Amino acid sequence: MGGLAVGRLSLDTRVSQNPEVVSREVEGEFVLLDLESATYFGLNQVGSRVWTLVSELGSLRKVCEAMEREYAVPREQLERDVLSLARELRDKGLLVVARDGP
């Protein structure tokens, strides 16, 4: 089975920050501006950490692994929360899903 199902994200999905999005850290939290739609989006401290880790790691599974070491949260809940935020960011055009070849 090749590629990703449309609309689905999993821990194995490779994602990146949309290059058309400008992010600024303000008091430990990120504010994102989508230059295409001129829309602002605010992230709380945990969401800001996900945003940073996506940039560094590119894999939702790796993001969860890093956050599991940093936060005292059950892995199942962490995975649900990271996937939920990733879906929201993707749906708003802030995250880009990598297309796997061939």
Where are any strands of DSSP class E within 27-100? 29-34, 39-42, 95-97
Identify the CATH assignment for 15-93 out of 3.30.1660, 1.25.40, 1.10.3470, 3.90.930. Answer: 3.90.930
62 vs 54: CA distance, rounded Å: 9
Q: What does pTM read for this prediction?
A: 0.84
76 vs 26: CA distance, rounded Å: 30
Is the pLDDT at 7 greater than 70? The verdict is no
Residues 47-84 pLDDT 10s: 999 999 999 999 999 999 999 999 999 999 999 999 99
98 vs 68: CA distance, rounded Å: 24
Residue 100: what pLDDT? 57
Among 37-46, 68-77, 92-101, the minimum mean pLDDT is found in 92-101
